A and B are shown apart, each in its own frame.
Chain A
Amino acid sequence: MRNNFVIFVLAAIAATAQAPGRKIDFPVDSPITAVSSDWSETKATPRGGAYVLDVHAVLSLRNSSQKRIRGVMLAVQAQEVTPGGKGSVSVPSLDVAPGEAFPLRIDLPLMCPLGAGPNVEVKLDGVLFEDLTFYGSDRLNSRRRMTVWELEARRDRKYFKTLLETAGNEGLQKEVLSSIARQADRPSTGVQMVRGRSTNTDPEREVQFAFLHMPDSPVDPISGTARIAGNEARTPHINLQNRSERAVKHLELGWIVKDQQGREFLAASIPSDVSLAPGKSGLVTQDTALRFSERTQVDSMTGFVSSAEYADGSYWIPTRGELNDPKLRGVIAPSPEEQRLLQIYRKKGLNGLIEELKKF
């Protein structure tokens, strides 16, 4: 009887979990080609009226272009229009020469309606090259994101190399250890983001943003407010002025929240398409609510410009000096490249890190 139950349960599991259909769909003129793929751990399980797809795949891709690749973003989707049906996997900080192959791992859960059948499709959203040119459909804004990551990577490598030249091995090691300690101490709290209407019934008040002004930023935040109710902050309105001589078409703001215990953390980023001619002002507003854990009562908020894109397609990002502001230093996460370099230090030590820095 007991054996029969175990067999029944195992049979039920085997019957429900199944391998979904999968497809790698790159354009004919794609600068990367799929050499091989391993989907053996990918499975689909019916759950209510939907399939839950656990996508675990390792792709081997080849640079079939004539330029070095710096970043790749793949769109992974089971159903484009369903919430949870679409995700992306990006690999920045690459250095892949023409003809070289490189691995790309996908670990992503997806969902699709039961009637649609479990299928996973991998599409190329974008490839960023060494000269910052781009190829791809850019449906997930991969061009902007990968360009900012690449500019941050160059900035951070340059910073560490300069440190090595001026302060020697000891100076570099001190900075690396300080960065690792900052990562460990960086405060984090659970944050939920809901677009649209809020359901909080606590009394609401309007709170002014304070702003960190970065000397080199092309855009300066002038004033801003958000509605605060208990552990929820919503509908930020921020007035900005373009103080550069070039038109700005997109910017991203960082939103720092301080709770009543005095803890500060980076709550979210606010990306926004704008049209700011030189010297002109504009308003950024979003119908979004951020909700924190019940113990986190919002006390005050700070905003800062974390990146901007000019109308001519060039970008601005903060310098390392600007990021050293005591308020920012403790709350913002390291760039993807700094994360990579710190991991090399952890695994290979200082000499491994120096060798890596010399490659660029």
Chain B
Amino acid sequence: MNGHVRETDLALYASGDVSLWHRASIHLHIRQCEKCREVVNEFRVDARILRDASAVLPEGVDWARLSAEMTANVRVGLEAGECVAPRGRGRLRKAIPASIPERWRPVALASAVAAMLTVMLAGAWWLNVPAQDTQALNRAMHSIWHGRAAMSDERVAVIEASSEGIELRKNGGSLGVTQDAARLMTVSVSTQGSASAHYVDQDTGQVTITSVYAQ
């Protein structure tokens, strides 16, 4: 770096082809840098001369024919490009590294799609499903994995009190009042079908007792 803007950037600036942000930064620079300002002015003068020269067609040129030939050449170029491009045109196929052998590419493609779907599903689950439902699923998976019944028969209402708070569960769904750092709870269970969490509200200083009922 010599403290000046690159010449290519100055050329683009002169023709108005840089981004707004880049344009502003070059503009600030050339206001203070005489050398760059002169380069920009030269580009602008050259551009004007070219523009003036191209405004007049050379004698004997048939514009309609020239236009048809140019269009035909563009088409030929596009078709040639199609012939030499890889057969799989999808973005996913292009994303598979060239180092993977051709016969493993379908497997790699399927794995990539499966991984992407898993990430999407996990994201959607994390955004939408409450923690209690996730815990219920974990319990079900735990009991399936260990080949025995879940710890609780959740067809009936189950009330649980633990160091994490109180919870009412039924049919796989659950509701709970959970403890956090600002709310240290004392929990208790009554055999008549309720659980209570006692805590001192940090804002009001009041003891607050929240209870859930099985029936």
Q: Which residues of chain A have a CB within 8 Å of any CB of chain B?
A: 5, 9, 12-13, 16, 45, 47-48, 50, 52, 83-84, 86-94, 102-105, 107-111, 140, 183, 188-197, 199, 201, 236, 255, 266-271, 286, 288, 290-291, 294, 333-334, 336-337, 339-340, 343-344, 347
Contact = CB atoms under 8 A, between A and B. Distances in A.
- Report which residue of B152, B156, B175 has the largest number of chain A beta carbons within 10 angstroms of its beta carbon: B175
List the 9 closest pairs (A to B, CB-CB), nearest first.
A190-B162, A336-B207, A199-B153, A343-B200, A90-B209, A109-B175, A288-B191, A83-B157, A268-B189
A91 B128 contact: no
Contacts of A140: 211, 213
Interface in B189-207: 189-193, 195, 198-201, 203-207
Given A88-B211, A91-B208, A333-B188, A47 B133 contact: yes
A109 B176 contact: yes
A94 B201 CA distance: 13
Contact of B213 (A47, A87, A90): A87
Interface stretch (B56-64, B99-107, B119-127): B119-127
Contact of A50 (B161, B173, B204): B173
B152 A192 contact: yes
A326 to B, nearest CB: 20
Q: Chain B: interface residue count, which band? A: 35 or more
7 contacts: A89-B209, A92-B209, A109-B176, A195-B215, A269-B189, A337-B207, A340-B206
A333 B209 CA distance: 13
A48 B173 CA distance: 9
Contacts of A334: 186
A194 B151 CA distance: 11
Contacts of B175: 52, 84, 109-111
Contact of A340 (B156, B162, B200): B200
Interface in B98-148: 120, 123-124, 127-128, 130, 133
Interface of B: 120, 123-124, 127-128, 130, 133, 149, 151-153, 156-163, 168, 170, 173, 175-177, 186-193, 195, 198-201, 203-215
A334 B37 CA distance: 81
Given A83-B170, A107-B210, A192 B151 contact: yes
Given A13-B127, A52-B130, A84 B191 contact: no
Given A16-B128, A336-B198, A344 B161 contact: no
A190 B176 contact: no
Contacts of B127: 9, 13
A294 B149 CA distance: 13
Contact of B198 (A12, A288, A333): A333
B140 to A, nearest CB: 14
A267 B189 contact: yes
A188 B120 contact: no
A191 B161 contact: yes
Nearest to A52: B130
Contacts of A90: 208-211
A195 B214 contact: yes
Given A188-B162, A343-B205, A87 B191 contact: no
B207 A103 contact: no
Given A89-B208, A91-B206, A340-B207, 17 more contacts: A91-B207, A91-B209, A93-B206, A105-B201, A108-B212, A111-B173, A111-B175, A192-B151, A199-B153, A201-B149, A271-B190, A290-B189, A333-B186, A333-B198, A339-B198, A339-B199, A344-B205
B208 A195 contact: no
Given A336-B207, A340-B206, A47 B212 contact: no
Contacts of B157: 83-84, 194-195
A344 B200 CA distance: 10
A87 B159 contact: no
A83 B204 contact: no
B205 A340 contact: yes
A333 to B, nearest CB: 4
A52 B203 CA distance: 26
B198 A193 contact: no
A92 B159 contact: no
B211 to A, nearest CB: 5
A295 B104 CA distance: 48
Contacts of A12: 128
B139 to A, nearest CB: 11
